[in-house]
Structure formats: C-alpha cells, structure tokens
C-alpha cells in the first residue's frame, strides 16, 4: 500500500467510512506485529513494551511521505489503538484457552508468562467496553483510545472531533462506569 | 443495571458531570435536589463512587499482554513492510528450509509485479560463499522455461542476509491438483510428463533440482505446472561444492523425497531428480507417499530412504500392475546407476506406455533380487548356504556323475535396444552390467553402451580421426576396451581406450595381412 492510499483511507475512515477501517486494519496489524517482534530483538532488561510506544512507532513507519498534520496522525493513532485492542484481546483469548486446555499438559505452564488473572482482567475489560459501547459508543471509543492506544486527551479530541472538555467528561463517566462494571474483579478492587 | 432510554442516559450524563464538579460533601445534597427519580439518583451516586480514578489494573493487564505478544512474535514478521531493492515485502507466504518465503511486489509507474522473496540464512556468509552464491544465481537466472518459475533477482538485506527474488506462483501442489482435477491415470500421467519435460530441460542445461517434491511443483489455475526452486538447494548449500556434501546438509532437503545418495552424502546427479520424480509419480498414482520419514536423526532417515522398499504400486492400486508398476519401481531404485539414465528416458517410457508400445522398464531380475537379499542378510544367508551346501553336495555329485552334460537351451529372448540404429556391427563385449558395441549415429560410427537389461543406448563419443572402429575386447578389470580402427593406407592400429576418458592410445600397428594377432592379455597387463 502506498502511503498516499494510506492517508486517503485514514481520511475516509475519519469521515465515517467503515470499509476504510477494514482496509487499514491488516496493514496496521502487520506493522504492529512486526514492531513487537523487532522490539523483542532489541530488548533491554528492565524495559517493558508499551503498546503506546508501538503505535507511535507504527505511525512513523507507515505514514512516511504523508502530510505531517496533526489530524491524520490522530486518525492513524485511533485506528492503531483499535487494531491493538483486537490483537491483545485475541492474544489473551489464546492464552486463556491454553491455560484451560492444559489440564494434564504441564509443560505449557512455563510457556505462558502472563498471569492468568491479568488475562481474565483484560478480557473482562473488553466485555465491559462492549457493553458500554451498546449504551454509548463514543465513550467506549474514548476509553479504547486512551487505554489501548495511549492517546492523550488532546489527541483523542483531534481524532474524534471533540472539544477537550467533552473528552474529559466522556472519560470521567466512561471510567467510572467501567470501574463499576468491573467491580467484582479482585485486581480492580486493589487498585 | 436498569436499561436507560437515550434521554435518561443523557440526563444521567449531565447530572454526573455537574455532581463530579462539586466538592465531595455537596454532591449528595445536589443529587437529592436535582434527580427526577430515586432510581437515577442511586445510579449517579454509584457511578460517582467509582469516579476520579483511572483504570490502573486494566492498564497493567494491557501492558502485560502486549509484552507477552512481543515475546511470542515471529522474528520473520519483522521484514513485512520493508523494502528490499525495488520490492516491498507484503506478507509471509510460507516457510522454507532456510527461513521464511515472502510475498512481495514491485510497484512501478508502468506495472505491478508480484514476486516471491526467499531469505538465505546460511551459517557462514564469507566473501567466497557469497561470490559463489552470486555466480550460481546468474546461472539459474538464465534458466528460462514456461514451466519453471524464473529466478528474477537477488540481493542482500540491510543486515547482510542474501535473498532471492522469484516469480510468484499461485497454485496447488501437483498431488493435491491430481486429486481434485485429474481423474484417471492417463490425465495424471500427461501432467507428470509436462513436469518431466521441464526437469529434462534444466538437466540439459546442467542444472539438477535436488529438492523435487509436490510442494515445489505447483499447478496454476489454468492447469499449467510450474516448478519452483530449481537449483536453489545447491545454491543454499555452500558445502555442496567446497567440501563435498556432508551429513550436515541433511536439513536442506526434504527427507520424504530425498534419494539414497543424498542421504549418504554421495554425489548428486540427474538420477537424483529421477528418483524424486519416481516418488512423486508413485504418490500421484497411488495416493500414498512412497517414503515417509518420521524421525529426524540421520540413522532414521538413512534407514527409511536407503533400505526400506515401499510397497509395490500395484499392491496399492491393482490397475497399475505391469508397465506403470515397473516404470515407477525402476525410477525409484536405490542405486542411481540402476534407475533410468535420464528424466527423458523416464518420460519416454511413460509416453510409450500411453501409446501402448512396449516399455523399457523391467522388474528386477531374480538373480539381482537374490543377490540383494543375500547382501542384506549376509550372515543368515551364509549359514543357510553352508547347511544347504553340505546337504546338496552329495546329491549334486551324484547327479553330475550320473547324467551326461545337457545341451544349452534358449530360455528367453530379450530385445536389448530400441533406437532403431545399426548396432554391434563388429563385436559386442560386456562387463557384466552393460553391453558395449559400435553404433552408427548420424553417419558416423561411435561406441555405444546399453544396460544388459535393455533400454536406451548411450553413445560414447570417439575422436574425429577414429574411422571404422571395431570393438575387439574388454579388459578383465573392465576399465579399457581393445579396439581397431582404420589408419593410414592398409594400417589398422590396435587401440586401447578407457570408456571414461575416451582418449584412445595406440598400442601397436596391426596389418590385416599379418597373421600375427597381438595377444590381448599381454597388452592388458602392461600399465
């Protein structure tokens, strides 16, 4: 895909074209996986991979030659956050299945580094976000951009065309709603 | 949680925002006054209890999963999206012996070309191996045939890993294609013949495939067979030329389609491809793999490839009995020299079978099978022979003494050659494996040899000045021929010649008028 096409697709997505997202997803997906792999090759002790860092790097890789305007960058980050959520949820589902299926296959225990509790936590967040989206899609999206994409409130505003106070209000209610929905979760209660 | 209408939700949102802006102690009073219903008031209060705190646990769960994802990520994926020369890597198309094979495309203003890129991660990329790699690449790039995927280009990645750019072929392996599209033996044979034609073309250009397998023979949507990776196995194996092939080169081939000489680390030749083609023909016609290596230790591979004979094709598919059974079994004989001499010979036999003409392939003779059995089970056979021998000795002696010698009787007539050319006008000599004679080929006489089982004759070229050669004898060690050829005037010199170097040297002059015939044994024993 040429970077020009890429910018056009981002534009179309920003204007509400759902098909543009379908076209963008595999490209962003591949880029994020590639960056995750390359991160591991240069891994240094004590540094944890942040999804946010990946998403920003993916933008630098994919948007070469695109006009460096704030809006298309924010649009890209929003798409990347969405894709990142899909990747991480898919990965968590796989890990949960591995753990559940590993009843008598002890050797798998060592392979799975993510504690079971964090897997469950992540899947619970995803399910709660889905429920929030049914009630108020915009709030769910704002949460997605902040947590899966690491976007700042300003970036979220640019990406979704919202004023900063609106973003703040959406985040406040969305977070409260999610915390309440996740109330039963042990991890969240400790936080 | 109650199902809220859109209006109620908007109301809730506003109440929440306004209450959240107030100091904690004023919130309860505000909600008492502002909320239209008790239900809404309870809901907003509950949400406020969870407000002003981020989703920290969710955040750390996300980071943990991302770290895990990176840990598991396939290192091959890092090339996706990268530009290699004019090509942009798009996706992983598959995994080969040396690493990933990528699908990539070249985007020019004029056209878009899709290619396959194969990384070559050999152990040591020394300047000399890289130079040889480039030379081989040049040779392969010149191999142009409609049924062979072209090698287009090559280069090195930023990390210095060499790569090959090849024509991208979309298709299914020949075995799967036959299952789905070619009902009936004849259709499958015709497809196989097209494959043979391409392999033979490469052989005539002195390129051996070395890794023929169904996955390397794809049939495209329009039914065209395309051979992938021609000669790549050699290109990828620096040991092949420099130190001779060693057992370390094992992983480079696919044991299920490897020939015994490859497993043993012996010289690879066109006969190696004949063997692999035989296995593929076996599989396409019977639906079963002829050779299936389950372990990966050299010993397991060697046992399966070098010693295990697959079930006869006719035992799996009775309609293959006869010619096809013989053809396949001749192609997959364990000893390279006992297979078809070339892929063209194999194809010729299949063609003859399709046309209802007699084929060259024959079952192993009984004597061969007995000898082979004896070699395999040497101690047991020796013991059995000893017992049998002592038992029979007396009987045989009695028989010999009692009966007069019987006259020889003709048991069987076998047509040895099928070329239609004049052969053996002078003498015919044999070393026990092949028959040697003279043959008239294109207006000139040459030497020719043919297996004692019959088959295709292969000419042995003679030097230009060698007129009217006659074959007189073969040395007891089977290394030289004794020949006469026309010389100056009446002279007819006697020559000795090795079939390998085909450079004869004169041993003495022999005048036809002379009654003196040189004693061959004297000549043979001299160095």
Say yes or no: B187 contacts chain A, CB-CB below 8 A: no
Same domain, B84 and B197: yes
Tokens 């897997």, residue?
Answer: A119
How many domains, chain A?
Answer: 1
Flag whether B55 is in a domain: no
- Supply the range of the domain harboring residue B4: 1-48
Same domain, B271 and B193: yes
Q: Which of A112, A108, A55, A63 is nearest to A80 (CA)?
A: A55
Q: Which of A135, A113, A133, A114 is nearest to A125 (CA)?
A: A133
Same domain, B35 and B90: no
Q: What is the pTM of this model?
A: 0.50
Say yes or no: A41 contacts chain B, CB-CB below 8 A: yes
Same domain, B178 and B313: yes
Same domain, B170 and B107: yes
Same domain, B138 and B190: yes
> How far apart (Å, rounded) are the C-alpha atoms in residues B257 and B210?
10
Say yes or no: B47 contacts chain A, CB-CB below 8 A: yes
Same domain, B167 and B91: yes
> How far apart (Å, rounded) are the C-alpha atoms in residues B429 and B524?
15
The pLDDT tens digits along chain B (527 residues) read 556 788 889 999 999 999 988 988 899 999 999 988 888 999 999 999 888 777 888 888 888 887 777 666 666 666 777 788 888 888 888 776 566 789 999 877 667 789 999 877 655 566 766 777 777 788 888 889 999 999 898 888 777 778 889 999 999 999 999 999 988 899 999 999 999 999 999 999 888 888 899 989 999 999 999 999 887 777 665 554 443 333 334 445 678 899 999 888 888 889 999 999 999 999 999 999 999 887 767 788 888 899 888 999 999 999 998 899 999 999 999 999 999 999 999 999 999 999 988 888 877 665 666 666 666 666 666 666 666 666 656 555 555 554 444 555 666 666 677 666 666 656 788 888 888 888 777 777 778 888 887 777 887 777 766 677 778 788 777 777 777 777 666 667 777 777 665 555 555 544 444 444 444 434 444 43
Flag whether B60 is in a domain: no
Flag whether B401 is in a domain: no
State yes or no: is B211 an active-site residue: yes
Question: What does each C-alpha distance from B7 to B3, B10, B43 come to in angstroms?
Answer: 12, 5, 15
How many domains, chain B?
Answer: 3
Same domain, B157 and B286: yes
- Supply the range of the domain harboring residue A54: 3-190
List the beta bridge partners of residue B148.
B227
Query: First and final CA of chain B: distance in angstroms?
Result: 107
Across the interface, which of B54, B58, B70 has its CB nearest the CB of A39?
B70
Same domain, B344 and B435: no
Q: State the CATH number of the domain containing residue B159.
A: 1.10.510.10
Restricting to A residues 94-123, those with a Cβ less than 8 Å away from any Cβ of B are 95, 112-115, 118-119, 121-122
Contact across the interface for B9 and A136, Cβ inside 8 Å? yes
3-state DSSP assignment of residue B492: coil
Tokens 């598919």, residue?
Answer: B317
Q: Buried b vs exposed e over B301-327: b needs ≥16 C-beta within 10 Å?
A: bbebbeeeebebbbebbeebeebbbbb
Across the interface, which of B60, B71, B81 has its CB nearest the CB of A61?
B81
What ipTM does this complex have? 0.79
| Both tokens assigned to B96 | 């080969």
Same domain, B166 and B18: no
C-beta contacts of B119-125 below 8 A and 24+ residues apart: B119/B79, B119/B157, B119/B161, B119/B162, B119/B163, B120/B161, B120/B162, B120/B163, B120/B164, B120/B235, B120/B236, B121/B161, B122/B98, B122/B162, B122/B236, B122/B238, B124/B238, B125/B160, B125/B161, B125/B162
Same domain, B437 and B337: no
Q: Which residues of A touch B47 (CB under 8 A)?
A: 173, 176-177, 180
Say yes or no: A37 contacts chain B, CB-CB below 8 A: yes
Contact across the interface for B13 and A169, Cβ inside 8 Å? yes
Q: Which of B322, B351, B366 is the last residue of a domain?
A: B366
Smallest CA–CA distance, residue B382 to chain A, in Å, is 51
| Both tokens assigned to B58 | 């969710």
Contact across the interface for A114 and B64, Cβ inside 8 Å? yes
Same domain, B362 and B500: no
Flag whether B325 is in a domain: yes
Say yes or no: B158 contacts chain A, CB-CB below 8 A: no
Q: Which of B344, B366, B388 is the last residue of a domain?
A: B366
Flag whether B318 is in a domain: yes
């Amino acid at each position: 895909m040429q970077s020009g096409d890429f910018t056009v697709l981002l534009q179309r997505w920003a204007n509400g074209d759902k098909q543009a997202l379908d076209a963008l997803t595999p490209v962003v997906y591949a880029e994020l996986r590639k960056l995750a792999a390359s991160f591991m090759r240069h891994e240094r002790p004590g540094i944890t991979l942040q999804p946010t860092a990946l998403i920003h790097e993916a933008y630098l890789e994919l948007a070469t030659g695109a006009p460096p305007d704030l809006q298309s960058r924010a649009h890209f980050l929003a798409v990347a956050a969405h894709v990142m959520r899909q990747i991480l949820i898919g990965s968590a589902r796989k890990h949960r299945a591995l753990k559940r299926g590993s009843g008598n296959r002890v050797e798998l225990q060592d392979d799975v580094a993510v504690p079971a509790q964090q897997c469950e936590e992540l899947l619970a967040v995803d399910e709660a976000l889905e429920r929030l989206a049914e009630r108020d899609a915009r709030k769910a999206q704002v949460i997605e951009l902040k947590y899966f994409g690491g976007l700042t409130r300003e970036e979220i505003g640019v990406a979704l065309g919202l004023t900063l106070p609106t973003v703040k209000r959406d985040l406040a209610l969305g977070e409260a709603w999610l915390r309440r929905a996740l109330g039963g979760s042990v991890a969240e209660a400790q936080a | 949680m109650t199902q809220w209408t859109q209006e109620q939700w908007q109301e809730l949102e506003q109440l929440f925002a306004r209450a959240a802006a107030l100091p904690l102690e004023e919130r309860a009073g505000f909600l008492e006054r502002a909320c239209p219903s008790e239900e809404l008031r309870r809901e907003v209060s509950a949400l406020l209890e969870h407000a002003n705190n981020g989703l920290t646990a969710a955040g750390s769960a996300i980071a943990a999963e991302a770290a895990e994802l990176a840990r598991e990520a396939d290192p091959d994926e890092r090339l996706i999206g990268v530009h290699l020369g004019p090509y942009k890597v798009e996706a992983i198309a598959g995994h080969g012996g040396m690493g990933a094979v990528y699908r990539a495309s070249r985007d020019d203003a004029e056209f878009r070309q899709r290619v396959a890129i194969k990384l070559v991660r050999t152990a040591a990329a020394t300047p000399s191996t890289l130079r040889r790699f480039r030379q081989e690449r040049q040779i392969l790039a010149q191999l142009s045939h409609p049924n062979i995927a072209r090698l287009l280009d090559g280069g090195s990645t930023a990390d210095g890993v060499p790569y090959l750019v090849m024509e991208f072929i979309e298709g299914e392996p020949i075995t799967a294609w036959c299952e789905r599209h070619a009902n009936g033996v004849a259709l499958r044979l015709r497809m196989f013949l097209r494959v043979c034609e391409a392999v033979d073309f490469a052989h005539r250009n002195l390129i051996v495939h070395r890794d023929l397998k169904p996955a390397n023979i794809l049939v495209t949507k329009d039914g065209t067979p395309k051979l992938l990776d021609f000669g790549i196995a050699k290109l990828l194996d620096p040991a092949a030329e420099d130190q001779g092939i060693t057992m370390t080169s094992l992983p480079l081939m696919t044991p299920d389609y490897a020939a015994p000489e490859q497993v043993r680390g012996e010289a690879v030749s066109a006969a190696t491809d004949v063997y692999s083609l035989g296995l593929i023909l076996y599989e396409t016609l019977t639906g079963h793999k002829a050779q299936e290596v389950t372990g990966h230790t050299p010993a397991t591979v060697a046992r399966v490839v070098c010693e295990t004979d697959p079930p006869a094709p006719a035992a799996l598919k009775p309609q293959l009995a006869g010619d096809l059974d013989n053809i396949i079994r001749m192609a997959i004989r364990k000893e390279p020299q006992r297979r078809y001499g070339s892929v063209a010979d194999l194809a010729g036999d299949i063609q003859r079978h399709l046309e209802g003409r007699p084929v060259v392939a024959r079952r192993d003779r009984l004597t061969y099978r007995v000898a082979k059995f004896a070699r395999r089970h040497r101690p047991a056979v020796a013991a059995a022979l000893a017992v049998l021998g002592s038992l029979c000795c007396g009987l045989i002696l009695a028989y010999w003494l009692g009966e007069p010698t019987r006259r020889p009787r003709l048991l069987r007539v076998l047509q040895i050659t099928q070329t239609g050319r004049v052969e053996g006008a002078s003498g015919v000599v044999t070393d026990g494996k092949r028959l040697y004679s003279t043959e008239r080929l294109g207006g000139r006489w040459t030497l020719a040899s043919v297996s004692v089982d019959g088959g295709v004759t292969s000419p042995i070229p003679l030097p230009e000045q060698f007129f009217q050669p006659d074959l007189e004898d073969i040395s007891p060690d089977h290394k030289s021929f004794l020949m006469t050829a026309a010389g100056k005037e009446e002279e007819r010199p006697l020559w000795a010649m090795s079939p390998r170097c085909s450079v004869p040297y004169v041993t003495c002059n022999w005048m036809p008028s002379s009654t003196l015939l040189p004693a061959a044994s004297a000549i043979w024993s001299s160095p």
